[in-house]
Amino acid sequence: MAVYRVCVTTGPYLMAGTLDNISVTLVGTCGQSPKQLLDRLGRDFAPGSVQKYKVCCSTELGELLLLRLHKERYAFFPKDSWYCSCVRVTAPDGTCSHFPCYQWIEGYCTLELRPGTAKTICQDSLPLLLDHRTRELQGRQDCYRWKVYAPGFPGIIDVSSFEEMETDKKFALTKMTPRVDQGDSSGNRYLPGFPMKIDLPSLLHMEPNIRYSATKTASLLFNAIPASLGMKLRGLLDRKGSWKKLDDIRNIFWCHKTVTSEYVTEHWCEDSFFGYQYLNGVNPVMLHCLSSLPSKLPVTNDMVAPLLGPNTCLQTELERGNIFLADYWILEEAPVHCLNGRPQYVAAPLCLLWLNPQGALVPLAIQLSQTPGPASPIFLPTDSYWDWLLAKTWVRNSEFLVHENNTHFLCTHLLCEAFAMATLRQLPLCHPVYKLLLPHTRYTLQVNTIARATLLNPEGLVDKVTSVGRQGLLYLISTALAHFTYTDFCLPDSVRARGVQAIPNYHYRDDGLRIWAAIESFVSEIVGYYYPSNTSVQQDSELQAWVREIFTHAFLRRESSGFPHRLCTPGELVKFLTAIIFNCSAQHAAVNSGQHDFGAWMPNTPSSMRQPPPQTKGTATLKSYLDTLPEVNITCNNLLLFWLVSQEPKDQRPLGTYPDEHFTEEAPRRSITAFQNRLAQISREIQERNKGLELPYAYLDPPLIENSVSI
């Protein structure tokens, strides 16, 4: 008689336990055990419990290949969900096998788990295991289906597929409640306390292994509802018309002020702070160094000489690499929307900046269109106060549109959703790349589904607060994706291509490159362990299918993007994985976490403009400035969005935090520890640096970076 000792760990989450019967079958190279009910006196699978059982076999099973968990009805109790963290099995000879699970199991079904040792398909030869890989991926592909949201968009998850899943279907771990009649056939409706329509049906059906935990959901609602109702009760969400004076804007979020938001309120109109935001604001990727001026921006030396001073000239500064351009060409043909029944306006400015001898980046000239001429004057710091401030505010509005739609939503949210989808569909649980990437996809599919249900839907928040509306968003994202390149995606390459290596006090660049290097070192060790040669990469058919699916659905097979559609060497794999992890974590933190800080003072980041760009100088006044800024209700709706997305709900996992032990071998576990130590050192360096800064930059402090795009 051979006795196997089985230890089952249930997750510590709310409602993670089950009352259903749980049985186990062990499958080894020499046979399989009888199906054994796991039952002890009292409740077996309570949240956070670790229960031990014995499985008796007539003979030893050899090397364990699979463990089958059977979830079946218990007496008259209704079926429920169970979160199984892992199962450990100790063989008669003392050998311990760890079977990671870390997933919700719904309904009555059988789930097959493999030991935790990561293996590529090239390392599997047994027909049983090859068949297991195939069946697992087929089940996932049936569950996670691609959908085209709009032409030119990256592929997204089709949440309607979750309604169709059967609970007893292998590897499809969910069956959602059938959709009830919503009255409104579209399901797009207003809810009390929310200023926009919400697409309810898309939120009601979500596979449990990708949806928010109960803790995170409660935290999100706790952040959203009081802020929204508070504005509603004060009448701000319904108040139309211009702000009477700028100081009134201070009172919107009187109880949600931060050190940075207060600093912005005090310094927003200063040229030096205007330039600072190109380096360390929420969109720190716009600047390109110039060696000559583009013909569409005919700035002369005489125009800027008063600012440059007597000891230099524009041509000299160009040759020194001190002149930079922020070009908002993508807005030139963007559709324009109506807010409160009134047409809004969009500019496509060119902003020229100078790195002065004091190391400060300051604006030199602003042209509010892509076409020079008498109707498109070049605004200068020597112009009147209100002319210059209005020109800078137009640039800040363009910053808002490009940042929110492209830098933030496209380049982090949508692309990371595509990475998550391809990982779920093409890599089995035992694949090393799946184990590496899974923590960096946590909640991404859920948060993007929420975004499409509340922001991108018709009459959603994008339609309520932005000058381009939903149609403009569709245009900007499709246009940006058509021009997005692998160089843009990889921070070190982007820094070199934009010529911004030498700008001082560029904390986003400095912190980002250190984090990139830490991720790259970690990924290199993991890849080197599992892929010792070029051949091992080239012959991994699952890996190649994964990268092809990303190329197809994220980048729409566009060869000019430079993104790989095949990986040939471990080095290529390291770079691609490093870029994915960086953009799913650090890059999202850099472009998301500061939105409330930099946007709470609305004139610094207006979401819409109510008057056309000025075509002559000398006409701007305080009144015309206030009449150009967004109306009161538009401002409040937008600041509500900034507040919500800047507050990461609870149930957080900072970068490098891997509580789920998907890797069980000693080598990758050592690599994880080294990665965490390196991130801790980076954090200490950032905190020490910030002590000497007038305005600390903490968005890329590793403990404040979420592992994944989850808000």
Is pLDDT of 711 > 80? yes
Q: Is the dihedral of CA 218, 223, 228, 234 positive or negative?
A: positive
As a whole number of angstroms, the distance between CA 538 and CA 569 comes to: 7
Average pLDDT over residues 268-292: 98
Confidence band (pLDDT; 50, 70, 90) for 51? very high
Average pLDDT over residues 466-491: 97
E strand or H helix at 379: strand 378-379
Per-residue pLDDT, 27: 97
327: number of Cβ within 10 Å: 19
Average pLDDT over residues 525-542: 98
Is pLDDT of 595 > 60? yes
Per-residue pLDDT, 214: 75
Average pLDDT over residues 419-425: 97
Confidence band (pLDDT; 50, 70, 90) for 224? low
Confidence band (pLDDT; 50, 70, 90) for 172? very low
DSSP 155-224: PEE-GGGGGG--TTSTT----PPPPPP-SSTT-EEE-TT-SSEEEHHHHH---TTTSPPHHHHHHHHHHH
Q: Residue 302 has which token pair?
A: 């005489």
As a whole number of angstroms, the distance between CA 37 and CA 27 comes to: 15
Q: Is 422 helix (H, G, I), strand (E, B) or coil?
A: helix
Average pLDDT over residues 92-119: 95
- Largest interatomic CA distance in the chain: 96
Per-residue pLDDT, 515: 98
Per-residue pLDDT, 186: 54
Average pLDDT over residues 564-588: 98
Nearest partner of 427 among 580, 276, 314, 302, judged by Cα = 580
412: number of Cβ within 10 Å: 21
Over the stretch 676-704, which tens digit does the pLDDT of each residue have? 999 999 999 999 999 999 999 999 999 99
Average pLDDT over residues 347-356: 98
Place of tokens 């199906």: 35
